[in-house]
Amino acid sequence: MHRAAFAHAGIDGGYTARRVGAAGLPEAVAGLRQPGVLGANLSLPHKESVPALLDDLTPAARAIGAVNTVIHSGGRLRGDNTDAPGLLAALADADAPTGGLSVVLGAGGAARAAVYALRQTGHDVLVVNRTHARAQALAAELGGRAAWPETAPWSAVTLLVNASSAGLDAPDDSPLPTFPRLDRRALVYDMVYRPAETRLLRDARAAGLRAENGLGMLAHQARLAFTAWTGVDVPVTVFLEALKAAEATGDPAP
């Protein structure tokens, strides 16, 4: 999708995917300081470990404690988090309910961005994670409350966001093996976008609820990252169309 954005903006640029292990992260980040490199995106499991390797963080990235976008300027690297505003934009597109209780599943970097975004916009947030201590720590730091999956007040939930890796490349895996009964107005938003139809989304639709995968969030966060790198604002539709085309071909870094 970034290649499509470069083409749309008339910029001679490229975007490639690179698999980096934890041991190779410092070297990979150092490489971003080379002339001509605009920056990079990071995915799990590096979002929470990369800030220590950067020169500066945006206020949002510092508050969230996770970085998904690195911006290079004059040899200095600044970390930002476009996941948070990207999620909010995607939820707005999906006409997500604004009242009631919002549940975030997970406690990693993506979950931190989700909790931060929802708390900044006035949502009552409940963090649910398989490791309860991590849910408690996240809620204490960013706001909200923590609950066990077995004791969460599911019937009051109007927004359910899966920010865990459950379902990623595993269509039969779910963060909630037994799908709970939610408020009938609820929207279920799964940040996972590959596969496009996760078990969580199938279970939500079977319960008569609206459900969306993470493609919209991916497009919105990418648009914000592209603007941070280039100063050029490209319509989100360019990113969405490129993503849909990439889904058909299996391109990992459109």
Catalytically annotated residues? 47
How is residue 136 written in tokens?
């408690």
- Residues 176/200, Cβ–Cβ less than 8 Å: yes
Query: What φ, ψ does residue 78 adopt, rounded to 5°?
Result: -115, 135
In the chain, what is the straight-line distance between the N-terminal and C-terminal CA atoms, in Å?
Answer: 4
Phi, psi (deg, nearest 5) at residue 114 = -65, -45
